[in-house]
Amino acid sequence: MRMLVVDSFTDRPFAGNPAGVCLLDHAADAEWMQRVAAEMKHSETAFVRPIQAPDADFELRWFTPVVEVALCGHATLASAHALYETGVADGPIRFQTLRSGVLTVTRSPDGGLLMDFPACPPAETEAPDDLGEVLGTTPFWVGRNSQNDLFVLVADEEAVRKLSPDVAALGRMDARGVIVTATADPGREYAFVSRFFGAGVLLGDGEDPATGSAHCALGPYWGERLGRDRLVGYQVSERGGRVGVTLRGDRVELSGRAVTVLDGDFKA
């Protein structure tokens, strides 16, 4: 089986968010896919296989090193990039997923990729009592979305960049992950910044470098507040990641680039 490692939401190697992409020619057992993802140790490994369905061309599933997830933006981008680069696909790609319906990816005129995803705007919720202490900064607004992410607005870009939260404590909260965000500093080429922590599903330090699915919440939130239907967000992790967002009603179009850094065969 062919295995690629692709850096997503970046135009250069060793930035953005790396994902494993396993190109299958037949259905695979979920337990085996989970073991492969644990071996790869990326935040997500995607498993893609061709199917014959009225509304889809490929099945797509995503696994972190510890669980299968319902939606993953950067590994979807990586999967489409891999299919285009290896010549398996040429036109629009329709992915059939278990929990997020059909996701379509197309090429943009500038060479990037466009992904059609469901919007997941946050609704205001009561903040956990110790959230500010765990984050190490004051939350100004807290929401939760349909992906069960806690969504936290903080003072400014500097506050997001300087965060050093208690990730283990964040992982004990009732949430898939925690999105922390603020408006960008004046003069930036992006409208907002963010970071994503998912200690319950990620290994290592629990921070995801560039999270497409989080922008399904970030885009609608900032679009409403800034009065715009097209925005660019920058995830200010150590590796960094740039995500374009276009609002289309109950859908969001996420855009970005990707770079292959490894291409080989998986033997097990």
Kindly state whether residues 240 and 140 are assigned to the same domain.
yes
**Catalytic residue list:** 44
Other C-beta atoms within 10 Å of 122: how many?
23
pLDDT digits (tens, 9 = 90+) for 119-139: 999 999 999 989 999 999 999
Confidence band of 204 (pLDDT split at 50, 70, 90): low
Residue 198 is predicted with a pLDDT of 81
Structure tokens, 136: 């190490």
Kindly state whether residues 213 and 134 are assigned to the same domain.
yes
Other C-beta atoms within 10 Å of 28: how many?
16
Residue 31 is predicted with a pLDDT of 97
Exposure class string for 85-98: b at 16+ Cβ within 10 A, else e: beeebeeebbbbbe
Kindly state whether residues 260 and 224 are assigned to the same domain.
no
Domain extent at residue 202:
123-249
Kindly state whether residues 6 and 90 are assigned to the same domain.
yes
Residue 268 is predicted with a pLDDT of 81
Residue 111 is predicted with a pLDDT of 84
Q: With CA atoms as reference, report the closest residue to 156 among 207, 211, 131, 193.
A: 193
Kindly state whether residues 99 and 140 are assigned to the same domain.
no
Kindly state whether residues 66 and 128 are assigned to the same domain.
no
**Total number of domains in the chain:** 2
Output the average pLDDT for the chain.
94
- Mean pLDDT (whole number) for 186-204: 83
pLDDT digits (tens, 9 = 90+) for 30-83: 999 999 999 999 989 999 999 999 999 999 999 999 899 999 999 999 999 999
Regarding predicted confidence, which is higher, 93 or 202?
93
Residue 174 is predicted with a pLDDT of 86
- Mean pLDDT (whole number) for 92-101: 95
Q: Is the pLDDT of residue 251 over 80?
A: yes
Q: Is the pLDDT of residue 167 over 80?
A: yes
Output the DSSP codes for 227-253.
T-SEEEEEE-SSS-EEEEEEEETTEEE
Kindly state whether residues 87 and 194 are assigned to the same domain.
no
Kindly state whether residues 244 and 130 are assigned to the same domain.
yes
Please report, for the domain that includes residue 206, its CATH number.
3.10.310.10
- Mean pLDDT (whole number) for 134-154: 96
pTM: 0.92
Confidence band of 200 (pLDDT split at 50, 70, 90): low
Q: What are phi and psi of 210, to 5 degrees?
A: -155, 110
CA distance 4 to 254: 22
Kindly state whether residues 137 and 189 are assigned to the same domain.
yes
Kindly state whether residues 90 and 196 are assigned to the same domain.
no
Q: Is the pLDDT of residue 201 over 80?
A: no
Kindly state whether residues 132 and 43 are assigned to the same domain.
no
Kindly state whether residues 73 and 140 are assigned to the same domain.
no
Structure tokens, 231: 């925005």
- Mean pLDDT (whole number) for 211-216: 95
